[in-house]
Amino acid sequence: MKQARVLTDAEQKRLLAVVAQGRHAARNRMAVMLSYLAGLRVGEIAALSWGDVLDGSGAVREQVRLSAEITKGGHARVVFVNNRLRKEIERYRSGLGDAAKPERPLLLTQKRTAFSANTLCQLMGQLYEQAGLDGATSHSGRRWFITRLAHSGISPKVIMTLAGHKHLTTTQRYIEVNDELMRAAVDIL
């Protein structure tokens, strides 16, 4: 099976521009940003509730705890919320008014129900298609997240843990290598 394509910065901007034009722009942007900025899988994104991302006082949590029931490997893990993602969550919540109740799903379908992993996967595929990004899938954000961390010099063990992988070889398969990176690597010599 071919891996999802990792988008360039320009392609990401194009994707977000397409998302902004859509009927459910805020919700769709939130789904995309959770993929890119937290490295979440679509099943994990679909399963999130407001109580997972907001604390008792309504502030965005610094960490989101994913239960074993919603992760692919069946192992609970912690996802750290960086400042950029925190701002995205706050912006999304501000547009919803008081609909952000702890027990409610973070993302709702047009029928006001929780997304299934499959439905969210299809939605993200449609967004990539509308943006003309062949080879991009719901996993592109996750691959971008892992690749960006690797290219920033983050320890492979830390990346593996953030991704929720049990084996480093799995994490390594996610990392995109391109001519620009290889050129920069040999220029160091």
Regarding the domain with residue range 9-142, which homologous superfamily does it belong to in the CATH classification? Intergrase catalytic core (1.10.443.10)
| pLDDT score of 153 | 87
| pLDDT score of 25 | 97
| pLDDT score of 176 | 83
Buried b (16+ CB within 10 A) or exposed e, 75-104: eebebebeeebbebbeebbeeeeeebeeee
Angle at 98 between CA 95 and CA 102, to 5 degrees: 110
Report mean pLDDT in 10-residue bins for the chain, 189 residues: 87 97 96 97 96 94 93 90 97 86 93 95 97 95 93 91 89 82 82
| pLDDT score of 110 | 92
- Nearest Cα to Cα of residue 15 among 141, 107, 159: 141
Q: Where are the domains of the chain?
A: 9-142
The 10s digit of each residue's pLDDT in 53-80 is 999 999 999 999 999 899 988 889 999 9
Query: How many H helices and E strands in the chain?
Result: 10, 2
Contact assessment for residue 38 and residue 66, using Cβ atoms and an 8 Å cutoff: no
